């Protein structure tokens, strides 16, 4: 690169470099969004080996809860986020108790079929209730616009997104490391039989973890509207991203999901910016290559 | 599967399985009815035969060998595009086109089978999904070759054997698709009722134990996967030739998911499962699409949940269960 000389014009060099940093920043923010969407699935898959392809349907539910509250009831955007979380968690637990739990020991195929079926139903219901168009949402005044930072324009909303993801990560890691519930989850992920033998109610642990994971998906869905919009196909469009992150990161690993989310987020944004003709080719290739190299994912143990 | 199967020798079991049941003969005679009863629906009947062929190919790997694939449409698409491109570039003979398209899909399937046979469970599902999406993106991006989202235009197919032209009403199309389906079905029936087919079922039930009794699971899976890929390519080629057009939809995830739904609905692990499932699915879609196209998938979803919860072996599994109970009385 025959770039500008740093000593004679500092300001110019940052504007030359800013596309790279801009792409990196957008990629990380996008990766953080994907992390919030996918971490729940990673934990539940690692815990119960349950292939839940309806995960993004819960995210979509969270998104529509937020849209309804903001557009119909004039709630402030930030206040709707906890509601999106709770709504997705409650619906997921209801389904877990009625349908999912009967298939914990069933084959992968049955689990795939049940959850794809639920995702189809969710898409049709969303199309029926909200129509098939992209839904806009007004975020709070504070999150609009951008902050100048050494010549870079950092979108406030993307900064907020990174902040939320970091808080979620810290809470999850701390919760898993230092609480009694976290210890039970880790024990069940590591060795389910042994955990049962020690008197841990793995089914109940799973139900709570499932609610937590789906709640996070609901939060992710609400946060995603501003970045990628929301339409009834959300349940399938982002399912692919989420599955890629989960399988690349390794089942049951928060750190793995975090790393994979950043990797996929940055390569997706960079791919769209620098090589738009490749489309989604790049991330699919990354996934297949990583899985063939390490079938259990980057951090996976199994 | 009842208790008496365990007391007879494997050879006698296979021979009993390969005997033609009167119901089977009735089934194949019934496939000729559309010529007489529904001459207006022959193009739909042709689509059903093609889809049934595709479902049959998935049945070999999923129903018998237990390999879940979410990207099977990749091979369907490879066959369709190969047949389409051959005819677009001046060779419109249908039968040799079928052979070339089948060979192309089989070759790719053979290469992919080395990846497939190494993995199980969730990783396998993700890899087949990833490969299917890669194939879709490749077809989408190679606009100069495949026409991308506009579809492949400009095919011209010569008459079958130089005699039968593909007509507007679909007489030739249905006869052609049905003949291909029937001959492949005979082959698949022979394959499934052979010791190889029995070994595949063994792999489905216990992947680890089969090598211990002398059947190398990976080699068997490679063979089965290659065969299934070739048949899927053949189905794609028939679709391309009878419709004289290849759309991006033929290689999409939607098609992979649809064929999975049909097979499970009819009954996976049964030769007629995919055929019955495809017929029900396609007729239902044709009937409902006029009313509410975008809500069609609501009912597919309900159907899937019901089948998994209530009818784990599909419609044919349920029927044979009822039949077995009725005979015992």
Residue B125: closest CA among A112, A100, A34, A236: A112
Strands (E), B192-303: none
Q: Does residue A275 sit at the B interface (CB-CB below 8 Å)? A: no
Q: What is the pLDDT along chain A (302 residues), one digit of tens a residue?
A: 333 333 333 333 344 455 778 788 888 889 999 999 998 888 788 777 788 888 999 999 999 999 888 888 888 888 888 999 999 999 999 998 888 888 877 778 888 889 988 998 998 888 888 877 777 776 666 667 767 666 666 778 888 888 888 998 899 888 888 998 888 888 887 788 888 898 888 888 888 888 998 999 999 998 888 888 888 888 888 888 888 888 888 877 788 888 889 988 888 888 888 877 776 777 788 888 887 887 777 776 54
- Quick one: pLDDT at residue A217? 92
Which of A196, A172, A244 has its CA nearest to residue A48?
Answer: A196
CB contact under 8 A, A292 and B115: yes
* Contact by Cβ (8 Å): A223, A19: no
- In chain B, % of residues over pLDDT 70: 95
- If phi > 0 it is left, if psi is from -120 to 50 it is alpha, else beta; for residue B151 that is left
The pLDDT of residue B225 is 93
Of residues B213 and B292, more confidence is placed in B213
pLDDT value of residue B107:
94
Interface contact flag, A279 B294, Cβ < 8 Å: no
Residue B233 has pLDDT above 90, yes or no: yes
Whether the CB-CB separation of B248 and B136 falls below 8 Å is answered with yes
CA angle B279, B283, B288 (to 5 degrees): 150
Asked whether the beta carbons of B237 and B137 are under 8 A apart, the reply is no
Given a cut of 90, whether residue B104 has pLDDT beyond it is yes
Chain A: closest CA distance from residue B239 (Å):
26
Assess if residue A294 is contained within a domain. no
How many domains are there within chain A? 1
pLDDT, tens only, B114-140:
888 887 777 888 889 888 988 888 888
- Three-state DSSP state, B117: coil
When pLDDT is cut at 50, 70 and 90, the band that residue B74 belongs to is: very high
Measure A159 CA to nearest chain B CA, in Å: 31
Residue A138 confidence (pLDDT):
67
- Interface residues from chain B to A (CB-CB < 8 Å): 62, 66, 68, 70, 115, 118-119, 121-123, 125-127, 129-131, 133-134, 137-138, 140-141, 257, 260-261, 264, 268, 294-295, 297-298, 300-305, 307-309, 312
How near does any CA of chain B get to the CA of A8, in Å? 44
pLDDT at A152: 65
Check CB contact of A125 with chain B, cutoff 8 Å.
Answer: yes
Question: Looking at residues B74-86, what average pLDDT do you find?
Answer: 91
- pLDDT of B199 over the 90 cut: no
Residue A287 covered by a domain: no
- Provide the Cα torsion A169, A223, B133, A268; round to 10°: -70
Question: A251 and B122 in contact by Cβ < 8 A?
Answer: yes
What pLDDT sits at residue B73? 92
Position B246 scores a pLDDT of: 85
DSSP B157: P
- Is some CB atom of chain B closer than 8 A to the CB atom of A171? no
Predicted confidence at residue A14, as pLDDT, reads: 40
Q: Which residue has the higher pLDDT, B61 or B286?
A: B61
The closest of A235, A82, A59, A70 to A137, measured between CA atoms, is: A70
**Tell me, what's the pLDDT at B81?**
92
Give contacts of A247 with chain B, Cβ < 8 Å. 122-123, 126
- Spell out the domain ranges in chain B: 36-252
Residue pair A64/A130 in contact by the 8 Å Cβ criterion: yes
| Domain with A113 in it | 29-234
Q: A210 Cβ partners below 8 Å, 6+ apart?
A: A40, A44, A92, A93, A96, A100
- Interface size between A and B, measured as CB pairs under 8 A: 113
Counted residue by residue, chain B has a size of: 329
Residues of A in contact with B259 (CB under 8 A): none
CA nearest neighbour of A296 among A238, A254, A253: A253
Q: Does A177 reach chain B within 8 Å, measured CB to CB?
A: no
Instruction: Out of B4-13, B73-82, B204-213, B269-278, give the one with best mean pLDDT.
Output: B73-82
Provide DSSP, chain A.
--PPPTTT-HHHHHHHHHHHHHHHHHHHHHHHHHHHHHHHHHHHHHHH----TTHHHHHHHHHHHHHHHHHHH---HHHHHHHHHHHHHHHHHHHHHHTGGGGTTS-HHHHHHHHHHHHHHHHHHHHHHH-SSPPP-PPPGGGSSEEEETTEEEEHHHHHHHHHHHHHHHHHHHHHHHSHHHHHHHHHHH-HHHHHHTT--HHHHHHHHHHHHHHHHHHHHHHHHHHH---TTHHHHHHHHHHHHHHHH-TT-HHHHHHHHHHHHHHHHHHHHH-GGGTTHHHHHHHHHHHHH-TT-SS---
pLDDT at B231: 94
Q: Contacts of residue A291 in chain B, CB cutoff 8 Å?
A: 119, 123, 126-127, 130
- Is the minimum CB–CB distance between A237 and chain B shorter than 8 Å? no
pLDDT digits (tens, 9 = 90+) for B279-302: 988 888 887 776 666 677 888 888
Question: Confidence band (pLDDT; 50, 70, 90) for B184?
Answer: very high
Query: CA–CA separation, A235 vs A49, rounded Å?
Result: 21
pLDDT confidence of residue B92: 76
Residue A38 lies in a domain: yes
Average confidence (pLDDT) over B204-212: 82
Domain presence at residue A84: yes
pLDDT value of position B228: 94
- The per-residue pLDDT of chain B, averaged, comes to 84
Q: What is the pLDDT of residue A186?
A: 82
Give the best residue of A57, A60, A104, A109 to mutate against chain B (max B CB count within 10 A): A109
């Amino acid at each position: 690169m025959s770039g500008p000389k740093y000593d004679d014009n500092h300001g110019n060099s940052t504007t030359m470099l800013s596309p790279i940093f801009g792409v990196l920043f957008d990629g990380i923010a996008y990766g953080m969004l994907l992390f919030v969407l996918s971490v729940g699935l990673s934990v539940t898959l690692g815990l119960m080996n349950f292939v839940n392809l309806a995960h993004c349907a819960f995210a979509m539910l969270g998104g529509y809860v937020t849209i309804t509250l903001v557009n119909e009831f004039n709630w402030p955007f930030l206040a709707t986020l906890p509601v999106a979380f709770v709504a997705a968690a409650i619906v997921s637990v209801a389904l877990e108790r009625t349908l999912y739990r009967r298939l914990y020991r069933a084959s992968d195929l049955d689990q795939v079929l049940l959850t794809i079926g639920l995702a189809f139903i969710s898409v049709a219901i969303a199309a029926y209730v909200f129509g098939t168009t992209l839904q806009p949402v007004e975020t709070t005044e504070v999150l609009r616009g951008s902050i100048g930072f050494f010549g870079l324009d950092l979108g406030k909303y993307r900064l907020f997104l990174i902040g939320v993801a970091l808080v979620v990560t810290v809470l999850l890691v701390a919760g898993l490391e230092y609480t009694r519930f976290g210890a039970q989850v880790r024990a069940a992920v590591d060795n389910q039989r042994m955990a049962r033998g020690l008197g841990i109610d793995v089914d109940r642990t799973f139900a709570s973890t499932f609610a937590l994971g789906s709640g996070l998906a609901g939060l992710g869905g609400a946060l995603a509207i501003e970045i990628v919009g929301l339409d009834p196909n959300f349940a399938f469009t982002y399912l692919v991203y989420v599955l890629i992150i989960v399988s690349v990161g390794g089942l049951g690993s928060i750190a793995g999901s975090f790393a994979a989310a950043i990797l996929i987020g940055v390569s997706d944004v960079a791919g769209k910016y620098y090589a738009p003709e490749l489309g989604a080719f790049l991330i699919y290739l990354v996934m297949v290559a990583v899985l063939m190299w390490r079938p259990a994912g980057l951090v996976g143990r199994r | 599967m009842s208790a008496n199967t365990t007391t007879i020798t494997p050879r006698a079991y296979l021979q009993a399985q390969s005997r033609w049941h009167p119901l089977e003969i009735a089934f194949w005679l019934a496939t000729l009815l559309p010529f007489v009863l529904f001459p207006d629906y022959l193009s739909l009947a042709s689509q059903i035969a093609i889809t049934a062929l595709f479902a049959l190919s998935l049945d070999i790997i999923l129903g018998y060998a237990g390999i879940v694939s979410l990207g099977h449409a990749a091979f369907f698409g490879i066959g369709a595009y190969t047949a389409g491109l051959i005819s677009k570039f001046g060779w419109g003979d249908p039968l040799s086109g079928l052979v070339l398209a089948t060979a192309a899909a089989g070759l790719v399937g053979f290469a992919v089978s080395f990846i497939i046979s190494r993995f199980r469970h969730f990783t396998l599902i993700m890899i087949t999904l990833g490969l299917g999406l890669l194939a879709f993106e490749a077809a989408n991006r190679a606009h100069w070759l495949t026409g991308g989202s506009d579809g492949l235009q400009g095919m011209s197919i010569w008459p079958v054997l130089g005699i039968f032209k593909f007509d507007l009403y679909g007489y030739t199309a249905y006869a052609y698709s049905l003949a291909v389906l029937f001959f492949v079905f005979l082959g698949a029936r022979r394959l499934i009722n052979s010791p190889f087919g029995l070994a595949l079922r063994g792999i489905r039930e216990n992947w680890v134990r089969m090598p211990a009794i002398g059947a190398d699971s990976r080699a068997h899976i490679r063979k089965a996967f290659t065969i299934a890929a070739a048949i899927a390519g053949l189905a794609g080629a028939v679709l391309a030739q009878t419709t004289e057009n290849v759309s991006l939809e033929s290689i999409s995830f939607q098609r992979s998911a649809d064929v999975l739904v049909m097979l499970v609905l009819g009954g996976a692990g049964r030769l007629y499962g995919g055929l019955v499932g495809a017929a029900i699915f396609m007729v239902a879609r044709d009937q409902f699409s006029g009313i509410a196209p975008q809500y069609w998938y609501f009912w597919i979803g309900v159907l899937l949940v019901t089948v998994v919860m209530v009818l784990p072996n599909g419609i044919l599994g349920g029927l044979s269960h009822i039949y077995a109970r009725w005979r015992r009385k």
